[in-house]
Structure 1
Amino acid sequence: CGKGRDLGFGTILNFQTKIGTGMGEQMLSREYYYLGTQLPIDRFLTFYYGHPGFHINNILVMMSVQVFMLALVFLGTLNKQLTVCKYSSAGDILPGQSGCYNLVPVFRWIKRCIISIFIVFWIAFVPLFVQELTERGTGRAILRLCKHFLSLSPVFEVFSTQIYMHSILNDLTFGGARYIAT
């Protein structure tokens, strides 16, 4: 798999930084501008998703997670500092609560968002499970998923995506991509 190469975090960091800064330089090039303005829409979308769009999508996903976490911190602070309106069992706001803030719908929305994130997370593993299920059976499919999670591969994917995001944004902001021996 690694062709005799070291597969430690340092090596992976260098390789993915090299890929990310290279993509950043390509995004700044005249060729990408020319292709973006001259291709018909069907070819442009194929080109975009196959090249810079994949990395831009990763950047947007990581930034949206950071903004979501910041919003959760702010809402947690509001919950601690403000008086939140109380509801009756019928779902109506109880009378006589002057100066309360109706944050319950916001908290419900946050709960739905978090549940949907977990649902999408599990749906992402359905193709792997079905592939293993059809090829090797139920026991092997479950074992494969268990090994997948015990090896912390989802955490590694977050690590990789953050490396790509950081290296592309640094290259787009400051430039200076250089050769990294891997």
Structure 2
Amino acid sequence: MATNYVLIDFENVQPANLEVLNKYPFRVLVFVGGNQTKVPFDLASAMQELGESARYIKIAGSGKNSLDFHIAYYIGELAAGEPDAYFHIISRDTGFDPLIKHLKSRKIRVQRESDLAEIPVLRMSNATCCADKIEAIVSNLAGRGQSRPRKIKTLSNTINSLFTDKLSDEQLAALVKELEQRRYIKITNDNVSYNLPHPP
């Protein structure tokens, strides 16, 4: 199973909801700026709960964008060892977006979210109604580029893997049908083609 890395730009975002990651096999790296000398107790406590899956990376120095460069370096280093890993940069800094576009062109799965709750698998787990689930599924599929499932069975398995509570065959069939009715997918002889919005 591919590792999900969460890389938090702590200079830009100070998440108050890190505990939402407890139920999932994420690896969390919190990048702390050179001038940041204090970490909130709630964050420290949540990091402690994550155990060996979480660590701080303190940036030496305080040059402009130095923290961003560190995040870029770690993504490169980790991706070299785990090419199938998925990287979530938690930051409101749109300066990451050109890097993300380039990394995606190199088949590295990376996305920027401004809040932990925007991470696709977390959005999936919080989706309750059909419309929410469809929106979350479409977002996930759009971010997969050319590695989208091409068969109905593979698509169903992919959808099922996105949710904390496994779905029944009937629920999966209903979601696939809804995707087809909304023209996000087209099914021809068990083959699936896509008409999805471009990922952000």
- The TM tier, using the shorter chain, reads under 0.3
TM value normalised by structure 2: 0.23
Normalized per residue, the structure richer in strand is 2
Structure having greater relative contact order (Cα 8 Å, sep ≥ 6)? 1
Normalized per residue, the structure richer in helix is 1
